[in-house]
Chains A and B, each alone.
Chain A
Amino acid sequence: MTVSLPPSGAPLNHYVSTAPFDPHSVEAMTAGQAKIFQASQLRLMWWKFKKHRVALASGIFLLVLYMMIVIAEFLAPYNLHTRNMDFIHAPPQRVRLFHEGQLVGPFVYGRTMTLDMDTLRRVYADDKTNVQRLRFFCSGDPYKFWGIWEASTHLVCPAKDGEFFALGTDRLGRDVLSRIIYGARISLTIGLIGIAVSFTLGIVIGGIAGYHGGVIDLVVQRIIEVLQSIPSIPLWMALAAIMPVSWSPILVYLGITVILGLLDWTGLARAVRSKLLALREEDYVLAAQLMGAKSSRIIGRHLVPGFMSHLIASATITIPGMILGETALSFLGLGLRPPITSWGILLTEARSVSVIAFYPWLLYPMIPVILVILAFNFLGDGLRDAADPYK
């Protein structure tokens, strides 16, 4: 194609090629390269996160747990408050497969109880002739699913007229396993609600301090220092103790989440502030200011989304602190109040040495506490690494 030049002095012809433009025509990428170079930010983070095996496993573990609490009523063999007056402080029953060398399928032996007149303790013994096969997808204690629908189906229940306490019973004959499953509902959600409170506070306060700087920044810095220098558990205890006794358990639950969130935002606010102090000098902020954007819009629309992934990662690391805070408060008797049941409430049963010595299975609720905290720690580590996929 030859284009003749116009005579000198005359204007050049206007020319636009209509052929489709392909920026990669010069250096064609292989399919593998294209996949990496054109991947979205989120996809890159996911790839990086997947490499951290432990974090991935923890994430899946937590996901399963959170799905379990949705169907807690179905998973628990008994209801939260079902009392078995014949089986008070019964030790855990072992699930067996073979009876006298024959495969029976999962079953437990029945129990006989005698009262030891010397120590006044109930002594339970396996009755080897009484084979109680477990039933699956069976009808047991009736419950209201999510408090709405009547139902009575359970994943596993004891044989008819039998009993099945995989983790033993407490002083009212309530099944510890069922109570742990129901308790997960409260213990796992309290961290999420608390983090929502502290996340909002952290972004708003840290954002204002970092963006405006000056006196506001100074005041906020001071407040953060003060809050961080007070030991958190005594302060939580004090705030929890002043909640009126007349409050309903639901209100107390909300109160505890707010207290946990109110004292936890300082770390996030610090992170937001230091990040904003650097970012507010960027040209795109100036451009937004010149176009007349309000500071709330600049912070919320232009600045914070830029490091949201970091914030989410650091928030994940603070969730275990909240779960622990609630567990500790409830354990001390200052947190949640029955009938709301959390793992901390379950652990209050095991407060004295004599209980621990005689009924050690009441300590079982601490296993999920430790596992969940470990999992959140690993998940947070993985997320933090993945938050910056270019590194």
Chain B
Amino acid sequence: MLRYILWRIAVMVPTLLLISMLVFTIIELPPGDYFESYISELRAMGEAADMEEIEALRERYGFDQPAPIRYIQWVGGMLQGDFGYSFEYQLPVSEVVGDRMWLTVLVSFVTILVTWIIAFPIGIYSATHQYSWGDYGLTFLGLLGLAVPNFILALILMYFANIWFGTSIGHLMDQKYLNEPMSWDKAKSILEHLWIPVIIIGTAGTAGMVRRLRANLLDELQKQYVVTARAKGMSPFRALVKYPLRMSLNFFISDIGSILPQIISGAEITAIVLSLETTGPMLIKALQSQDMYLAGSFLMFLAFLTVIGVLVSDIALALLDPRIRLQGGSTK
């Protein structure tokens, strides 16, 4: 088991390296750097730029050096917890970000949990009651859930919340807790606000998961061992729970790998629409003002989150299924 985990972590390293190269290329692509636009902006306002300070910053972040060296410095800095400098806020990135990253993790994690809790019973119901009205209804709902994109769902919910309750939804906590340290009241406020983004982000993932779980379980239910178990007099419920469900549980956990990028994507765009205090709104602002170190570390963080999520699901899968553990191979 330990060998499998170590091997799996070792595989993760080249993936992360490739991702970091890709992200760095994206950061580097815009012509010119932040300082040039900053200087021209100051000039346009009729102010003189403090060239000395800018030169110092340039040197500190190695803008006078060729790209490969800057890449190594960037990656090395990240490994030591230095994510670079946000030029717009004039602060190190790690200070700008604050608890936004943890809130992103929280939102994604809760969304996955809710996705599981909802998708599991519905998937089982749909598979065991194939072609019933309930199955058709749920399938149609699922298709609708897949077709309505996150941000449109967010807009619709905003509209109805305004009509029915006369309040505006949005934000992840009461505004008075914004820059305060974590406390019980703050946690309560976050929990109160959490359910709306979770519904919005989770819908598409839940719908997809129900669809795949249903297909998977249907395949399993038609296998001969189920027929044999039924023929020998096992009750339908036991014949479902004892083996086929366990088999599709495997799939259930490995499916995280395919819905996690989707959930994180959805979390970003929903956060922008609802102005949640997660990475989304800040990422888009950073991208628009070409504050590339800030944007780059956000991208890197989101990719890292996905890779870790897949890693955890793979390890859970190995714990659950001895075949994967013993082969030590990939799960796909």
CB of B173 within 8 A of chain A? no
- The residues in A between 316 and 343 inclusive whose CB is less than 8 angstroms from any CB of B are 320, 324, 327-328, 331-334
Q: Across the interface, do B143 and A377 meet the contact criterion of CB distance under 8 Å?
A: yes
Chain B residue nearest in CB terms to A238? B26
B152 contacts which chain A residues (CB < 8 A)? 347, 366, 369-370
B155 contacts which chain A residues (CB < 8 A)? 347, 350, 356, 363, 366
Q: Mark A343-381, 1 if CB is under 8 A from B, else 0.
A: 000010011010011001001001001100110010000
A327 contacts which chain B residues (CB < 8 A)? 149
A374 contacts which chain B residues (CB < 8 A)? 143-144, 147
Q: Across the interface, do A231 and B306 meet the contact criterion of CB distance under 8 Å?
A: yes
A328 contacts which chain B residues (CB < 8 A)? 149, 151, 269
Complex Cα spacing A320 to B170, Å: 27
Complex Cα spacing A222 to B14, Å: 9
CB of B190 within 8 A of chain A? no
Q: Given contacts A223-B18, A366-B155, A373-B147, are A231 and B303 in contact (CB under 8 A)? A: yes
A283 to chain B, nearest CB (A): 29
Q: How large is the interface on A (under 10, 10 to 19, 20 to 34, 35 or more residues)?
A: 35 or more
User: Among B159, B170, B265, B310, which residue has its beta carbon within 8 angstroms of that of A232?
Assistant: B265
Q: Across the interface, do A230 and B149 meet the contact criterion of CB distance under 8 Å?
A: no
A332 contacts which chain B residues (CB < 8 A)? 269, 272, 284
Q: Across the interface, do B265 and A234 meet the contact criterion of CB distance under 8 Å?
A: yes
CB of B295 within 8 A of chain A? yes
A229 contacts which chain B residues (CB < 8 A)? 15, 19, 261, 303, 306-307, 310
Chain B residue nearest in CB terms to A354? B168
- The residues in A between 224 and 241 inclusive whose CB is less than 8 angstroms from any CB of B are 225-226, 228-235, 237-239, 241
User: Among A231, A238, A363, which residue has its beta carbon within 8 angstroms of that of B159?
Assistant: A363
CB of A242 within 8 A of chain B? yes
CB of B264 within 8 A of chain A? yes
CB of A244 within 8 A of chain B? yes
A234 contacts which chain B residues (CB < 8 A)? 264-265, 268, 283, 298-299, 302
A237 contacts which chain B residues (CB < 8 A)? 268, 283-284, 287
CB of B29 within 8 A of chain A? yes
Q: Given contacts A234-B302, A353-B158, A356-B162, are A226 and B19 in contact (CB under 8 A)? A: yes
Complex Cα spacing A240 to B181, Å: 35
User: Among A225, A235, A347, which residue has its beta carbon within 8 angstroms of that of B15?
Assistant: A225
A102 to chain B, nearest CB (A): 36
- The residues in B between 113 and 152 inclusive whose CB is less than 8 angstroms from any CB of A are 143-144, 146-149, 151-152
A85 to chain B, nearest CB (A): 27
Q: Across the interface, do B261 and A226 meet the contact criterion of CB distance under 8 Å?
A: no
- The residues in B between 1 and 44 inclusive whose CB is less than 8 angstroms from any CB of A are 14-15, 18-19, 22-23, 26, 29-31
- The residues in B between 247 and 270 inclusive whose CB is less than 8 angstroms from any CB of A are 261-262, 264-266, 268-269
Complex Cα spacing A98 to B284, Å: 51
CB of B288 within 8 A of chain A? yes
Q: Across the interface, do A222 and B18 meet the contact criterion of CB distance under 8 Å?
A: yes
B310 contacts which chain A residues (CB < 8 A)? 229
CB of B105 within 8 A of chain A? no
A268 to chain B, nearest CB (A): 16
26 interchain pairs, CB-CB under 8 A? A226-B22, A228-B261, A230-B19, A233-B265, A233-B266, A233-B268, A235-B299, A237-B287, A238-B26, A241-B288, A241-B295, A328-B149, A328-B269, A334-B284, A347-B155, A351-B273, A353-B162, A353-B168, A356-B158, A357-B162, A366-B152, A366-B156, A370-B148, A370-B152, A377-B146, A377-B147
Given contacts A238-B295, A356-B155, 10 further A-B contacts (CB under 8 A): A230-B299, A230-B306, A231-B306, A320-B147, A328-B269, A353-B168, A363-B155, A363-B156, A366-B156, A370-B147
Residues of B within 8 A of A (CB): 14-15, 18-19, 22-23, 26, 29-31, 143-144, 146-149, 151-152, 155-156, 158-159, 162, 168, 170, 261-262, 264-266, 268-269, 272-273, 283-284, 287-288, 290, 295, 298-299, 302-303, 306-307, 310
Residues of A within 8 A of B (CB): 222-223, 225-226, 228-235, 237-239, 241-242, 244, 320, 324, 327-328, 331-334, 347, 350-351, 353, 356-357, 360, 363, 366, 369-370, 373-374, 377
The 5 closest A-B pairs by CB, nearest first: A241-B287, A233-B265, A231-B264, A231-B265, A373-B147
